[in-house]
Amino acid sequence: MDVVVRTACGAVRGEARQGYSVFLAIPYAAPLVGIRRFQAPAPPQRWSGVRDARRFGSSVPQPILWHPGDDPECLTVNVWTPDAGTSGMPVVVWLHGGACMGGTAVTADFDGAAFAAAGVVLVTMNYRVGYEGFGWVDDAPCNRGVLDQIAALGWVHDNIAAFGGNPDAVTLIGQSAGASSVVGLMAGDRAPDLFRRGIAQSPGKIFVPADEARAVSAMITSQLGVRPTAGALAELPPEAIHAVQMEPVAVMAAEPGRWTHPNAPYSMIVDGELFDAPPWFDHRASGANRELVCGFTTDEARMFTADVDLSGSDPVETARSCGLDADAARTFRTGNPGSTDEELHALILSDALFRMPALWCAEAAAEAGTDTYLYEFAWPSPARDGALRACHGLDVPFTFDTPRGPLAAQLIGPEIPPDFADLSAAMRDAFLAFAATGDPGWPRFETTERIRRIWATPPELGGDTLATSRRIWQRARVPGRPSSADV
């Protein structure tokens, strides 16, 4: 059965399913055509009649998921609601990951049925990625992908009441790059009227200085033979940019010490406007009006190393490439007795990419007075004979209860584990309790006690088991993070 809701720009027709309704591909910004591809998002146009919102739209321009001829009206939101005729329900807005290089809301991985069944309105969104979203353009705003996210939050604020949601009870949740947006927007106190609470699942170290972003842009535009201006770039089709936008990786990998994140050419730019500093260094959101849940998976880097031959890995070189001192590898080995060189390699990378940034964000938020809650997702995946362990992204199917989605097929396998349903429900119940009340059901994180929820079978509470890693990284020269000489 169809259901019609009127938004500020016009009416949309969604689909009523068992116990909830879904509305797909509602535009929150104007189509990405011409110079608008490299500008801040513009408001969408009004429409007459009733717009069909029963099918997913296009992904934003990017390799693989996008093709020439796809609809440029791709800055869209998707809404799942228990009952569009009620009012005042909590709202959760999801930001997908993808290292600022890719990703989409057009996937069964982020199906909102489980949220709607729990009495919550879920919104997912597309936002610009790659060079279009995060590349430096001389005469255009930085972090256009994040500006898209803010525009979508504005759409939620103005329209979600029509879908039964409370615009004053919005929780922003994201994973990986999406989590970095959550903590970045909270730390800088950006968009304070558009969301109250944040859940950051594995925020990464993807904040770079403006001069790095300019240098990456220069490599790309020299390949394209154009100046780094919005007008010049808009003359090129998206596929031309996609063909060269990863070219800087080889140069960056050859000089890892020069770059904040040498394997990721696109990051959130510390531009002095949207972001003044990485979120673990500059946290302004404080007081009772903001709360944060922040977490990581135990074996984050296993997603990237499980298929790599690490038999010749050298933990000393791994530590050095991550900006650690010469004693770090020995300290890691002492603090993790019995670990092989391969396991230490994965541990150091897990720390560098996600575990320490997540911990630093929790520390900064707690020290600023924000009610902060820390978690670790420790459930080991059976996929690939257990090689993935509790890898990056594994918590996403549990968050959405999507064990048959494409991400779960990759990270969990074809069979649904017998403990999946209970752990998924426990996680989601905690996150949705936090969205409704600001309390996920475990003690707040403090830098003195460092209590965290461990998502395993069964869930439990843990203490400061990251002490070895934390002390090692406190000495590291991580951009935007004070060294031991500074604290």
Question: Could you give the residue numbers annotated as active site?
Answer: 176, 300, 392
Q: What span, in angstroms and rounded, lies between the C-alpha atoms of 161 and 222?
A: 48
- ∠ CA 61-243-145, nearest 5°, is 35
Do 31 and 73 touch, CB atoms closer than 8 A? yes
- ∠ CA 77-280-136, nearest 5°, is 55
State the virtual CA torsion across 81, 82, 83, 87 in degrees, nearest 10.
-80
Q: What span, in angstroms and rounded, lies between the C-alpha atoms of 355 and 430?
A: 21
Q: What span, in angstroms and rounded, lies between the C-alpha atoms of 235 and 199?
A: 39
- ∠ CA 129-132-136, nearest 5°, is 110
Q: Using alpha carbons, select from 373, 398, 377 the residue that is nearest to residue 114.
A: 398
Coil, strand or helix: which one is 147? helix
| Furthest C-alpha separation in the chain | 68
Distances in Å between the Cα of 41 and the Cα atoms of 29, 290, 424, 438 are: 6, 26, 35, 31
Coil, strand or helix: which one is 18? coil
Which segments of 320-419 are extended strands (E)?
A: 371-377
Q: What span, in angstroms and rounded, lies between the C-alpha atoms of 122 and 170?
A: 10
| Residues 6 or more apart in contact with residue 458 via CB below 8 angstroms | none
